[in-house]
Amino acid sequence: MMQTRVLGSTGPAVSALGLGAMGMSGAYGPADRAESVATVHATLDAGVTLFDTGDFYAMGHNELLLAEALRGRNRDSYQLSVKFGMLRGPGGGFGGHDNRPEAVRTFLAYSLTRLGTDHIDIYRPARLDPAVPIEDTVGAIQEMIDAGYVRHLGLSEVDAATIRRAHAVHPVADLQIEYSLLSRAVEAEVLPTLRELGIGLTAYGVLGRGLISGHWSAGRAAGPGNARGLSPRFADGNVAHNLALVEALRRVAGAAGCTVAQLAIAWVAAQGADIVPLVGARTRERLAEALPALRLHLTAEDLAEIERAVPPGAARGDRYPAAFMSGLGVGN
């Protein structure tokens, strides 16, 4: 049976592991559509109920893919988490953010149509729009909640002060933010704020975009269209250092009788029952590896060994390219 966790004090009960679908729409190079659909089906069959997407993932491609994969399934058997507000051009480049109330309603209308559903379970701005007060954005989402088009309010990649301002307008179910052994800035101020306010956390990047999956190797090229090619942590001069951390982690995983990926996922899940890791599996093989992580019990000694293998701040390189770092609520 799949474990469940509740997203905060006001959010839904979801599977203890969620699927982040971004990689199925070309973020890390070409993806096989049939295999992506089969992976979503296998995810559902395994009891996973939480699916995360964004309307800007390949300009709607990801939502359409999920709609195809989820067609015919009981709508009450899964939850859709959708991010909005990132602007993109026809060439795929990013062009800022738009979190104005009128944009919220427009983006939502398009997402509902592409996903083939009458409601979104958790709707969230992908990033803070510096030109729009968060209260205005949240107010627009609250209107959509009152109208029945959205069930819960979420946030993404914002700081503690913004969380408090948003939560004062309408209860926030969860914050989606990068959290892994390589990215722990959330622990200083954001995570305590979430717990004070009764807000859950959905953690993406738990495998560092594959860097700490145990499957990446030094000298491997990211390839055309693969976002890893722009990631400072995969850059020459950084990747060898970061992979040395993975090898230290591999020794701990071997002693625990699991894979590096399973250990990294289990570590995030062990940081609190209010945290739901999102895995970006885009094949059934990677999904099958990730699922047993939920059954892995990490003792205090295991957690100490993991800390020694990958201490906080040990990663080399920012978690995003410089142009994107300024839009994040917390750093690395």
Residue 221 has pLDDT above 90, yes or no: no
Confidence at residue 94, expressed as pLDDT on a 0 to 100 scale: 93
For the full predicted model, state whether its pTM sits above 0.95: yes
Report the catalytic residues. Answer: 57
Phi and psi dihedrals of 29, rounded to 5? 100, 180
Is 329 strand, coil or helix?
Answer: coil
Residue 24 has pLDDT above 90, yes or no: yes
Q: In 3D, which of 244, 133, 113, 242 has the Cα closest to residue 180? A: 242
Confidence at residue 223, expressed as pLDDT on a 0 to 100 scale: 87
Burial of 307 (0-12, 13-18, 19+ CB in 10 A): middle
Confidence at residue 219, expressed as pLDDT on a 0 to 100 scale: 85
Terminal CA-CA length for the chain: 35
Asked if residue 200 lies in contact with residue 278, where contact means CB atoms within 8 angstroms, the answer is no
Q: What percent of the chain has pLDDT over 90?
A: 97
pLDDT digits (tens, 9 = 90+) for 55-114: 999 999 999 999 999 999 999 999 999 999 999 999 999 999 999 999 999 999 999 999
- What value does the mean pLDDT of the chain take? 97
- Structure tokens belonging to residue 39: 């992976």
Cα–Cα distances (Å) from 155 to 14, 18, 83, 118, 329, in that order, read 17, 16, 9, 21, 11
DSSP 200-236: EEEEE-TTGGGTTSS---TT----TTBGGGG-GGGST
- Structure tokens belonging to residue 103: 């944009």
Residue 86 CA to its chain's centroid (Å)? 15
For residue 13, what pLDDT band results from cuts at 50, 70 and 90?
Answer: very high
Residue 36 has pLDDT above 90, yes or no: yes
- Per-residue pLDDT, averaged over 227-235, amounts to 95
pLDDT digits (tens, 9 = 90+) for 288-314: 999 999 999 999 999 999 999 999 999
| Cα–Cα dist 234/242, whole Å | 8
* b/e sequence 7-16, b meaning 16+ C-beta within 10 Å: bbebbbebbb
pLDDT digits (tens, 9 = 90+) for 247-291: 999 999 999 999 999 999 999 999 999 999 999 999 999 999 999
Confidence at residue 75, expressed as pLDDT on a 0 to 100 scale: 98
| Cα–Cα dist 22/56, whole Å | 10
- Per-residue pLDDT, averaged over 180-194, amounts to 98
Confidence at residue 218, expressed as pLDDT on a 0 to 100 scale: 86
Residue 161 has pLDDT above 90, yes or no: yes
